[in-house]
Amino acid sequence: MFSLNTRMSHPDSLTTRLTSLNNLAEIAYKEAASLAPGDPLPLSNMSSVKFELGQFSAAIGFINESLALTPEGTDDVTTKRRRETLYSRLIKCYLHESRYDAAKQVLDQITDQNLKSSIHATLDGVSAWTKGRDAGAHRSLALERVPRFKPYLQDVPESFSMGHDRAECLLDLAISKSCSAEDSLSFLLCGSGDSRNLFKTILT
């Protein structure tokens, strides 16, 4: 058995915390793999950690090692599900590395028809987009379509880089009537942007 000290000293961000947890998981799975060298599960979990960290080449290596230890042609439902998960993750790794031909070769190993159709559609779409693609032309097209102050492609923006709403006083008539001059009011302003509503309330 093994144990890990999971205490972290004041992480700076969510990314830091997630990276630290993934590193701890990697240590645990490596030790588990050393204790049970014939068990494919620790290697499968290692591939998941590497995938989440964006280390796709390393993930591919662990996937192949895990597949080599996972029985093929078995009727065991759990084993079939594990192989399916590994092949699906392998295809995703190849897609992230733009290795589309390798991804297509693995596709035949997927038995779930819904998953297979979804991945096949993704591969067809990527292949159609990359065929004869001019990277410079696509970049110019994207820059022409996307205004500089709106980093998205939707025709109708859902948010604005500058506040566009009308400033309103938060102290409405109902509140005014229910309070006396001696009462204190508290307001919680969440995501107030340029704080125009706050300033309007103060001025009012």
Per-position DSSP letters for 88-104, written without gaps between them: HHHHHHHHHTT-HHHHH
Residue 103, in any domain of the structure = yes
Both 191 and 90 in a single domain?
A: no
Residue 117 has pLDDT above 60, yes or no: yes
Both 38 and 100 in a single domain?
A: yes
Mean pLDDT of the chain: 75
- Collapse the DSSP code of 11 into the 3-class scheme (helix H, G, I; strand E, B; otherwise coil) and give the result: coil
Both 42 and 124 in a single domain?
A: yes
Domain membership of residue 102 as a residue range: 14-131
- Residues of the chain with pLDDT > 90, as a percent, come to 9
Both 124 and 178 in a single domain?
A: no
Both 118 and 178 in a single domain?
A: no
Q: 61 pLDDT band (50/70/90 cuts)?
A: very high
Average pLDDT over residues 47-60: 88
- Residues of the chain with pLDDT > 70, as a percent, come to 75
Residue 4, in any domain of the structure = no
Among 14-23, 132-141, 181-190, where is mean pLDDT lowest? Answer: 14-23
Residue 143, in any domain of the structure = no
Total number of domains in the chain: 2
Both 179 and 124 in a single domain?
A: no
Both 28 and 119 in a single domain?
A: yes
Residue 77, in any domain of the structure = yes
Domain stop point among 131, 163, 182? 131
Both 31 and 98 in a single domain?
A: yes
The phi and psi torsions of 79 (rounded to 5 degrees) equal -65, -40
Residue 161, in any domain of the structure = no
pLDDT score of 8: 41
Domain stop point among 72, 102, 131? 131
- Collapse the DSSP code of 168 into the 3-class scheme (helix H, G, I; strand E, B; otherwise coil) and give the result: coil
pLDDT score of 97: 87
Name the residue with tokens 């979804």.
118
Residue 6 has pLDDT above 50, yes or no: no
Residue 161 has pLDDT above 80, yes or no: no
Residue 185 has pLDDT above 90, yes or no: no
Both 40 and 113 in a single domain?
A: yes
Q: Six-digit token pair at 38?
A: 């014939």
Q: Which residue has the higher pLDDT, 193 or 32?
A: 32
Residue 111, in any domain of the structure = yes
pLDDT score of 2: 38
Residue 108 has pLDDT above 60, yes or no: yes
DSSP, res 167:
P
Residue 29, in any domain of the structure = yes
Residue 101, in any domain of the structure = yes
Residue 94 has pLDDT above 70, yes or no: yes
**Residues written for the chain:** 204
Both 87 and 187 in a single domain?
A: no
pLDDT score of 30: 79
pLDDT score of 174: 75
Both 25 and 111 in a single domain?
A: yes
